[in-house]
Chains A and B, each alone.
Chain A
Amino acid sequence: MQVPAQFEYHKATSVDDAIALLTRHGPESFVVAGGHSLLPMMKLRLAEPETLIDINGLDELATVTVESDHVRIGAMVRHSALLSSPVIAEHFPIFTDAERLIADPIVRNRGTIGGSLCQADPSEDLSAAFSAMRATAVIRGADGEREVPVREFHRGPYETAVAHEELLVAVRVPIRPASGSAYAKLERRAGDWAVASAGAMLRVDAGTVAEVGIGLSAVGAAHFVAPEAEEYLRGGPASDEAFVEAGRISAAHCSPSADQRGPVDYKRHLAGELTTRVLRRAARRSRGEEA
């Protein structure tokens, strides 16, 4: 059995309490949400926090609510709740697609949206999906809340815009009528991290691409996005040829690294292939041809 090093444990009673605990215990205190990244790292002794601040009791962060033109997803919403949410399925099928492919039901029952984003693993799925949706992160500190576009949230592998004495409390996703979205991921086995994955959001106006977002994960795309491919599509025809070309551009601009999931040329190919596939699917959904 793998056993962690010794640590102190505190259960936060509110967001303010969590921030106060983080302040009091300093840089070696870690927030634990679902724990599906942190606890294995602790057992492997890759992480040895002095203090754990448990925010699992903060039910006020565990809701999905429609607020006029956007949906606010609390940071403590579990993957399984996002997967089963009818609001999400109606407005953002990209998340339903992605959640079906994240880990397994046991992990999804416990793991959280905020935990996934804050872990900021370069292969994490929701970072790409939220980036594709051009969502906004809501971060709270002692001085109140601030908002950061998800596309500026990630500062590098395992680094985010959330400072030590702050907490990610929610993500806001704009509702775009007559748009479509989709997510695709290739994995070696159910529950494995992505070899590569792509997410797309499309709003088509009279055959022309009015709004587009393309997210990529596990292929070294900066901020989990493919801006060159988005730029190419915006204002142009929503045609299959354009989607194939956008895939080619995504592939050309990402910078995957080789590991046991595959060599660079394969991952680059996949980034393009999956980009094209999700654009096609998002387009079909925007036309109401597919649920």
Chain B
Amino acid sequence: MTAIGEKGVQDPSVQIHAAEETPRGYGSMKRKEDARFVRGRGQYVDDVVLPGMLHGAVLRSPLAHARITSIDTSAAEAHPKVHAVITGATLEGLGLAWMPTLSQDTQAVLATDKVRFQGQEVAFVVADDRYAARDALALIDVEYEPLEPVIDAKRALEAGTPVIRTDKEGKTDNHIFDWESGDRSATDAVFAEAEAAEDQLVVVQDMIYPRVHPAPLETCGAIADMDPVTGKLTLWTTTQAPHAHRTLYALVAGLPEHKIRIISPDIGGGFGNKVGIYPGYVCAVVASIVTGVPVKWMEDRSENLMSTSFARDYHMRGEVAVTRDGRIRGVRVHVLADHGAFNATAQPTAFPAGFFGVFTGSYDLEAAHCAVTGVYTNKASGGVAYACSFRITEAVYLIERMVDVVAHDLGMDPAELRMRNLLRPEQFPYQSKTGWEYDSGDYPHTLQVALDKAGYQELRAEQADRRRRFADAQRSGAGPAGTAGEPVKLMGIGLSFFTEAVGAGPRRSMDILGLGMADGAELRVHPTGKAVLRVSCQSQGQGHETTFAQIVAQELGLSPDDIDVVHGDTDQTPFGLGTYGSRSTPVSGAATAMVARKVRERAKIVAAAMMEVSADDLEWDDGRWQVAGDPDASRSMADIAMAAHSNLELPEGVEGHLDATCVYNPPNLTYPCGAYICVVDVDPGTGAVDVRRFVAVDDCGMRINPMIVEGQVHGGLADGVGMALMQCIAFDLDGNCLGGSMMDYLLPTSLECPSWELGETVTPSPHHPIGAKGVGESATVGSPPAVVNAVIDALAPYDVRHADMPLTPAAVWCAAQGHPLRPDLGIT
């Protein structure tokens, strides 16, 4: 489709953004990758078709907990289009029936002894096409002996409860781990004082952050191609962490690592759903080895929702010690963490509850302590997914909900209470009571910007007026619907102030299965001044091909259009742990800046040789190396690149060409923050919630491409509205998943989202090379409590103190009636 017009060659891959819109470094520019996405030219795993490829399908358990007494595959094997049927017994022979999880547990690839959740993988059929593969699933005869399922996490540890993990020798209960953070005795002392003192009180609230699912629009899948001649496995797969996957396949399957190539092409959303290794991937690999040809497996929507990595499922009790004039002294938390049938959460090794330790939030406390207990239940495994920043989502929800409960009990304005307790700018770098070093921020300023943007005082005045009218309507006996026909809606205003901790992480303290969380970058400038950057992280829609090109452009004085970013192929890119936990810009972005600076230093030597001056006399000025004080004597990066590849004589010990590599080991996490204000209208007659406004002021330090940042925030806010108002994976007591389709698991649409009102403050990270902080998950982390706080605020006339997400119309109405719903179990 390349056309030659008046302006020369018009390449359809670049014409989507006019050249004059492209900044030389930072600034808003349209995303380079969107040229292919908006034309339907993206290449996703399911778009890959290999010669002779077969198709796999997974047979799943209809029961949540049952013993397998027999599996008869003979009818399926007799199907004319079926090439192989793989069961747990097949895999046992290969030593692959069980695989290690990212949390030092084991997970069944295909069930051998028991099934442990509805939707668990039982058998894998390989056939000519995906239709035949599905047809053959119905021909497999599995006999189950049903066992009592463990569904209610609160009862998982009770005596007499069935033991789920009977595969683990000596296991007599459903306990996984106990983990704590903070100073227990100092915290208990603060609480004892608060309980005894007249002028203080202790506020307690139980809350559930229910199980949700990231639900990326592209489901998970893989194509395994084991070349029987070279012995090399090429695996096209939906992964956010291709290099980590390669190492894990090497360790699990015993394949030599240099004989494994992981290709993660365009990924249609990940949100943490595509961090782990799923049984289907392993089955595809085994199937390719067994059949000698490539095998594709793509799960369907229900399989994705029912069997892959969920998120949250934290049953929390928050306690706050506070003075009656609103000074928060201490926070104490107990968590029961439902991890499902296998402990397969993805987080750094030393953090079984992820970064939940950041539950102290944005406040200056005297003491804090949390204790987390993980339990097995008969549900799908996972737990760290859906843009949660390793459980900071749960932590922020807890503290921000607790602050509003405190404001409720004290009769204080929640904005004033927050302002009184926020960390002050002079306290940074701040050592939190649970051991985290917050790098930078000006929290009162950020909150004030949000309050001003929202018109907070005017909103409160409108709310007071609305409440008067509501009370009048109630008194007149007309009920909430009013006589005029239209109900008086209740208005609610909700705040949240979040601190995130993203960019894992320092190698000394953070690893996943022993792999330190550092990331590499390689940069090569071609002779004509065009460049290629290779990074270890893997975009799932974040815009890395644009943002990282802009970082290089800023450092080298090039146009982002002249820089190609290569990612998602382990044969083409340096090692690193991938993209999740908002870590790409904090880690790979830093690696990119550092590698570009290495190249710039090399270019300086070349430029000095070109101009026959000492390198010490050169200064970097507006994208060129220039002789200090002589603007006429300078060389651009393109000039230098050609010279570096030419026969120019370079100083002793300086090699030619213009390239560099780098590994970035972050000295600390980055700590973005934000102040969010949500305004809702609640129909008291139906419980329906309408999000009227949402103001989001984010501080993510330096913004490389503000438009991309805003897009990330928009997406996260929509996620937050979804979690707060409609998304939930509940289970009935038989263990049936009640969120197994898009009809039952509701994603928000534009009709549920207001026009987002964004703002920003900028406090650069002092330790990041370009002052940037991660932002991908900020809005997902920060927005749910703002929405929930707004709904609870609206229900003040009913004196509601708390109600659990999702605040569906039924949940809101039931809370107002004084009998709130429990979201994790089926409604009866």
Instruction: Mark A residues whose CB is within 8 Å of B.
Output: 1-3, 5-6, 44-45, 104, 186, 188-193, 195, 240, 244, 258-263, 266, 269-270, 273-274, 276-277, 280-281, 284
Contact check, B809 vs A186: say whether CB atoms are below 8 A apart: yes
CB neighbours of A270 from chain B (8 A): 686
Please report the C-alpha to C-alpha distance between residue A146 and residue B302 in the assembled complex, in whole angstroms.
Answer: 42
* Smallest CB separation, A193 vs chain B (Å): 7
Q: In the complex, A262 Cα to B812 Cα: how many Å?
A: 10
Sample of 17 more A-B contacts, CB < 8 Å, known A1-B298, A45-B134, A189-B725: A2-B302, A3-B131, A3-B134, A5-B134, A5-B135, A6-B131, A104-B749, A190-B749, A190-B751, A258-B828, A259-B826, A260-B728, A261-B810, A262-B808, A262-B809, A263-B810, A266-B814
A-B pairs with beta carbons under 8 Å apart, 15 shown: A1-B46, A5-B135, A6-B131, A44-B302, A45-B138, A188-B726, A190-B749, A193-B743, A261-B827, A263-B814, A273-B685, A273-B686, A280-B485, A281-B485, A284-B485
Check if A258 sits within 8 Å of B827, measured CB to CB: yes
Contact with A along B126-153 (1 / 0, CB 8 A): 0000110011001000000000000000
A270 to B813, CA, bound (A): 10
Instruction: Please tell me if the beta carbons of B298 and A269 are within 8 angstroms of each other in the complex.
Output: no
| Chain B 659-689 interface residues, beta-carbon cutoff 8 Å to A | 685-688
Closest to B751 in A: A190
> Which residue of A is nearest B219, CB measured?
A1
B462 proximal to A (CB < 8 A): no
- Which residues of chain B from 102 to 147 have any CB-CB distance to chain A below 8 Å in the complex? 130-131, 134-135, 138
Q: A277-B481, A284-B485 are in contact. Are A186 and B686 (CB under 8 A)?
A: yes
Q: In the complex, what's the smallest C-beta–C-beta distance from A196 to chain B, in angstroms?
A: 9
Roughly how many angstroms separate A240 CA and B827 CA in the complex, as a whole number?
Answer: 33
Are A195 and B130 neighbours in the complex by a CB distance under 8 Å?
Answer: no
B541 at interface (Cβ–Cβ under 8 A)? no
- Give CA–CA (A3, B299) in the complex, Å: 11
User: With A1-B130, A260-B826, A263-B827 given, is the CB distance from A190 to B813 under 8 Å?
Assistant: no
The reply to whether A3 and B130 contact each other, CB–CB distance below 8 Å, is: yes
Closest 7 CB pairs of A and B: A262-B810, A190-B751, A2-B300, A280-B485, A189-B746, A273-B685, A266-B810
Q: Is B483 an interface residue (CB 8 A)?
A: yes
Interface of B is mostly: loop
- Once A2-B301, A276-B481, A277-B485 are accepted as A-B contacts, the answer to whether A195 and B746 lie under 8 Å apart by CB is no
Structural contact, B744 and A260, CB atoms closer than 8 A:
yes
* CB of B752 within 8 Å of the partner chain: yes
Chain B contacts to A: CB under 8 angstroms? 46, 130-131, 134-135, 138, 298, 300-302, 479, 481, 483, 485, 685-688, 725-726, 728, 730, 738, 741, 743-744, 746, 748-749, 751-752, 808-810, 813-814, 821, 826-828
Query: Please, how many angstroms separate the alpha-carbon atoms of A273 and B684 in the complex?
Result: 10
Q: What is the distance, in angstroms, from B218's C-beta to the closest C-beta of chain A?
A: 11
Q: Which residues of A contact B134 (CB under 8 A)?
A: 3, 5, 45
Smallest CB–CB gap between A244 and chain B, Å?
A: 8
Chain A residues in 8 Å Cβ range of B741: 44
Within the complex, what minimum Cβ distance (angstroms) separates B638 from chain A?
47
State the CA gap A258–B826 with chains docked (Å): 9
Which chain A residues border B743 with CB–CB below 8 Å? 192-193
B730 engages A188 (CB within 8 Å): no
Q: How far, in whole Å, are A5 and B138 apart by their CA atoms in the complex? A: 11
Q: How far is the CB of A56 from chain B (nearest CB, A)?
A: 23
Q: Are B686 and A240 in contact (CB under 8 A)?
A: no
Given A3-B134, A260-B730, verify A269-B749 contact (CB < 8 Å).
no
List B contacts of A259 (CB < 8 A).
826-827
Residue of B nearest to A1 (CB): B300
A52 and B752 CA atoms in complex are apart in Å by 37
Q: Give the complex CA separation of A280 and B300 in angstroms.
A: 46
Contact of B481 among A6, A260, A273 (CB under 8 A): A273
Which single residue of chain B is at the shortest CB-CB distance from A262?
B810
Which residues from chain B contact A2 at a C-beta distance below 8 Å?
300-302
Chain A residues with CB under 8 A of B300? 1-2
Among candidates A188, A274, A281, residue contacting B746 with C-beta atoms closer than 8 Å: A188
Distance between A186 CB and nearest chain B CB, rounded to angstroms: 5
**Complex contacts, A258 vs chain B, CB 8 Å:** 827-828
Q: A3-B130, A188-B808 are in contact. Are A263 and B828 (CB under 8 A)?
A: yes
Which residue from chain B places its CB closest to the CB of A190 in the assembled complex? Answer: B751
A280 to B481, CA, bound (A): 11
Chain A residues, Cβ within 8 Å of B728: 260
On chain A, the residues within 8 Å of B809 by CB distance are 186, 188, 195, 262, 266
A192 to B688, CA, bound (A): 14
| Nearest B-chain residue to A274, judged by Cβ | B686
**In the assembly, what is the distance between CA of A276 and CA of B685, in Å?**
11
Query: In the assembly, what is the distance between CA of A274 and CA of B813, in Å?
Result: 14
Q: Count chain A CB atoms within 10 A of each CB in B481, B485, B726 and give the residue with the most.
A: B485
What chain A residues lie within 8 Å of B738 (beta carbons)? 260
B516 → chain A, closest Cβ, in Å? 38
Residue in A closest to B301 when the chains form the complex, CB atoms:
A2
Q: Report the Cα distance A259→B301, complex, angstroms.
A: 21
A6-B300 Cα distance, complex, nearest whole Å: 18
A195 touches which of B479, B483, B810 (Cβ 8 Å): B810
B135 touches A189 (CB 8 A): no
Q: Assess the B726–A189 pair: CB atoms within 8 A.
A: yes
Among A5, A44, A186, A266, chain B packs the most CB atoms within 10 A around the CB of A266
Cα-based distance from A262 to B820 in the complex (angstroms) = 11
